[in-house]
């Protein structure tokens, strides 16, 4: 078996660090902290941390291509690693879900998420597992407000909910590594 690839989506640069659109990056950072792994430049336009968990080789990845171009890097990495799509877990923010909600799926559409659209396009498939992390407030932003909303930081009162969601998403990634997507869906889609 090739390494399991966990790709957290986000945008590089300090101005995006704590924004809603960077939840995938925040989950990878939380996993690195928990596993005591160091992110290093990868061969390509990404940073990565690698090691073994539950006897399986695991590669944690943050694309440095900006959100809308994530797919090219993911496609190259999947091809280079010889990974089956069932071994590629993508973690990202989802405006369709209320703040703090997790949804784990074995496959699915891009749901209007440009980073996921790019991955689907470059893999020519939507058949990869994913963890969707809810970022929506009570009221859905209008189409005109969406870009500004996803690129805005979380409000102070939202941060405890976000911290809990990131910790649960990191737990879900480790469950995926240990037990596979079906058990992870059963455990985290409550």
- Sign of torsion over alpha carbons 78, 81, 87, 88: negative
**Catalytic entry in 21, 46, 113, 122:** 21
How would you write 93-137 as a 3-class SS string?
A: EEEEEECCCEEEECCCCCCCCHHHHHHHHHHCCCCCCEEEEEEEC
Distance CA 74, CA 79 (A): 9
Are 173 and 33 spatial neighbours (Cβ–Cβ below 8 Å)?
no
Distance CA 104, CA 9 (A): 15
Q: Is 18 exposed, middle or buried (0-12, 13-18, 19+ CB in 10 A)?
A: middle
Cα 121-56-44 angle, rounded to 5 deg: 40
52 is catalytic: no
> Could you list the active site residues?
21
């Amino acid at each position: 078996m090739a390494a399991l690839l966990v790709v957290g989506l986000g945008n590089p640069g300090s101005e995006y660090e704590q924004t809603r659109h960077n939840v995938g990056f925040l989950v990878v950072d939380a996993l690195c902290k928990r596993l005591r792994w160091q992110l290093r430049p990868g061969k390509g336009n990404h940073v990565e941390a690698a090691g073994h968990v539950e006897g399986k080789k695991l590669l944690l990845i943050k694309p440095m291509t900006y959100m809308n171009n994530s797919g090219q890097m993911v496609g190259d990495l999947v091809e280079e690693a010889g990974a089956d799509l069932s071994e590629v877990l993508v973690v990202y923010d989802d405006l369709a879900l209320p703040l703090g909600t997790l949804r784990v799926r074995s496959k699915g559409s891009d749901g209007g998420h440009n980073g996921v659209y790019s991955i689907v396009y470059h893999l020519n498939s939507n058949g990869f597992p994913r963890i969707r992390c809810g970022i929506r407030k009570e009221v859905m932003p209008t189409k005109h407000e969406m870009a500004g909303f996803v690129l805005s930081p979380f409000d102070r009162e939202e941060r405890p909910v976000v911290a809990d969601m990131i910790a649960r998403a990191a737990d879900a990634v480790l469950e995926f590594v240990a037990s596979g997507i079906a058990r992870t869906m059963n455990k985290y889609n409550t």
